[in-house]
């Protein structure tokens, strides 16, 4: 009955409001990639592994290209991750620890955010649990050649979904090496598994180099940051809806604002999140470490440290890359109930659950919700004016998905932001004198940090109406003023 309850909750929660929020930039890029021919998806050097875009491509070909359907694979993966954690956790720890970890995962805002996103991260999380379940069978000696093949295939799929899945495989590989050193009889099995897995993931090598270069180009302005790890720690408590909102952090990072100035208004929640997770991890580690416990610890750490260290080589770090570690972090902290500080864990785990529920409820609040390109598109469409739409900032690009006439959208490119005169000419040439113009601004610090386009339109055209949405502002201008 308990397992049935968890499955029912897990299957229900990610689908609640699945299509309510607009696509943000990365989801829009996923939808664009899905519309490409399969051959283009396989060969494009854009930093993305190809299997997830191919999955969305199949949905689009079936006529299931709406926001809801393109997010459905992620929601399904997150729903399945909860019972998968129950199954995997019972091979590692006792029933109480496993159930608490699964309950925390079912309502975790970090998992729910990516469960409702048309990106590959929730599927990565599920595959981390699947490969770990297969790995545990091999570790126990219960899995034969079929399990080894399944593990290699699941690893191949994981890398094909996202290249950073390699850190999940690396964490499991360390445990395999330890087991082979301590138990010589297991060495032939691990050698066979290693060869199969190396061959499987090696099939992706030709694509990885080109995609790495492509991603490095995208992340050209992103630098290595020691503060990325504390931010990731906050997301493991309250996701992106507890503590400083991303729309506060991102421009501050671009403008090199001191971290203290950004965090100070959210100091209480930030300190609570960091202190709570740090304490729970320390309590969870205060237990004897056998091979299974070592596996949990490594799976909680390596998929976090790996992407962070890669940011030193020109590929930006995003907390979402670490999502495969989340189930194992929760299994680690729930394991504190069996450690020497079990009474402290008994107090702090309900507090963690309470913070998760609060943060999950805040995901649709204006400071934390995704940029509302859909609302902007509805406002422009409702105006029934065939005017030009100028999209400023990388967050405004998805407006092309939600306006009736996407061919009338002009994107202000990132290169335009370095030339003030160019920006002014761009704004002055926006449509004919008699046309209305809609200015959609989202993440302006990326393309027009000084607001030159808006200032120019304000001088040259009368403002009819302004609509302020989540992370997006739409300004409706009338025809150009007479000289």
Q: How confident is the model at residue 438 (pLDDT cuts 50, 70, 90)?
A: very high
Sign of torsion over alpha carbons 278, 283, 287, 291? negative
Transcribe 223-270 into DSSP letters: ---TTHHHHHHHHHHHTTSSSS-HHHHHHHHHTT--HHHHHGGGHHHH
Q: In which band, very low, low, confident or very high, does the pLDDT at 8 lie, cut at 50, 70 and 90?
A: confident
**Span 441-452, average pLDDT:** 88
Q: Whole-number mean pLDDT of the chain?
A: 89
Instruction: Dig out the tokens for 336 from the structure.
Output: 């504190």
Query: Cβ neighbours of residue 318 under 8 Å, at least 6 residues apart?
Result: 307
pLDDT in the model for residue 154: 97
Tokens coding 416: 């335009």
Residue 461: strand, helix, or coil: coil
Torsion, CA 235, CA 236, CA 238, CA 243, rounded to 10: -40
**Among candidate residues 247, 239, 215, the one with its CA nearest the CA of residue 446:** 247
- Read off the pLDDT of residues 105-161 as tens digits, 9 standing for 90 and up: 999 999 999 999 999 999 999 999 999 999 999 999 888 899 999 999 999 999 999
| CA distance readout (Å), 282 to 168, 220, 328 | 22, 36, 14
Domain boundaries, the chain: 2-364, 373-477
Higher-confidence residue of 5 and 83: namely: 83
217 has pLDDT over 90: no
Q: How is residue 472 annotated by DSSP?
A: E
Say which residue the tokens 């999140």 belong to: 273
Least confident of 51-55, 134-138, 228-232, 325-329: 228-232
Tokens of 421: 């005169």
Q: The tokens of 390 are what?
A: 């100028």
Number of C-alpha atoms within 13 angstroms, CB side, residue 31?
24
Q: What is the pLDDT of residues 357-397, one digit of tens each?
A: 999 999 999 999 999 999 999 999 998 777 889 999 999 99
């Amino acid at each position: 009955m308990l397992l049935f309850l968890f499955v029912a909750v897990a299957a229900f929660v990610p689908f609640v409001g699945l299509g309510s929020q607009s696509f943000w930039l990365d989801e829009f890029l996923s939808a664009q990639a899905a519309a490409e021919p399969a051959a283009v998806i396989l060969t494009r050097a854009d930093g993305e592994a190809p299997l997830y875009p191919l999955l969305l491509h199949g949905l689009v070909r079936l006529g299931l290209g709406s926001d809801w359907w393109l997010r459905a694979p992620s929601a399904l993966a997150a729903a399945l991750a909860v019972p998968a954690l129950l199954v995997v956790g019972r091979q590692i720890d006792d029933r109480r620890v496993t159930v608490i970890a699964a309950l925390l995962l079912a309502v975790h805002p970090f998992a729910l955010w990516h469960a409702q996103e048309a990106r590959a991260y929730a599927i990565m999380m599920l595959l981390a649990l699947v490969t770990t379940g297969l790995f545990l069978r091999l570790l126990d000696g219960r899995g034969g050649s079929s399990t080894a093949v399944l593990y290699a295939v699941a690893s191949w799929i994981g890398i094909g979904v996202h290249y950073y899945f390699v850190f999940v495989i690396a964490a499991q590989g360390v445990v395999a090496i330890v087991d082979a050193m301590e138990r010589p009889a297991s060495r032939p099995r691990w050698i066979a598994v290693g060869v199969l897995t190396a061959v499987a993931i090696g099939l992706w090598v030709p694509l990885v180099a080109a995609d790495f270069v492509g991603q490095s180009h995208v992340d050209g302005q992103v630098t290595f940051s020691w503060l990325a790890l504390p931010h990731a720690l906050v997301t493991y408590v309250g996701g992106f809806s507890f503590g400083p909102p991303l729309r506060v952090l991102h421009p501050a990072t671009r403008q090199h604002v001191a971290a203290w100035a950004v965090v100070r208004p959210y100091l209480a929640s930030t300190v609570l999140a960091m202190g709570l997770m740090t304490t729970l991890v320390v309590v969870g580690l205060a237990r004897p470490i056998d091979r299974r416990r070592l596996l949990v610890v490594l799976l909680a750490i390596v998929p976090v440290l790996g992407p962070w260290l890669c940011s030193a080589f020109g590929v930006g770090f995003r907390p979402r890359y670490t999502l495969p570690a989340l189930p194992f972090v929760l299994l680690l902290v729930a394991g504190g109930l069996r450690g020497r500080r079990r009474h402290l864990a008994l107090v702090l785990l309900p507090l963690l659950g309470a913070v998760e529920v609060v943060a999950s409820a805040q995901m649709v609040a204006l400071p934390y919700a995704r940029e509302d390109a859909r609302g902007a598109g509805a406002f422009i469409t409702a105006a029934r004016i065939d005017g030009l739409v100028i999209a400023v900032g990388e967050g405004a690009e998805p407006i092309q998905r939600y306006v009736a006439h996407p061919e009338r959208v002009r994107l202000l490119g990132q290169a335009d932001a370095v030339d003030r005169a160019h920006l002014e000419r761009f704004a002055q040439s926006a449509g004919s004198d008699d046309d209305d113009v809609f200015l959609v601004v989202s993440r302006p610090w990326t393309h027009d940090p000084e607001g030159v386009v808006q200032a120019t339109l304000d001088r040259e055209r009368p403002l009819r109406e302004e609509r302020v949405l989540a992370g997006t502002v739409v300004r409706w201008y009338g025809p150009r003023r007479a000289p």
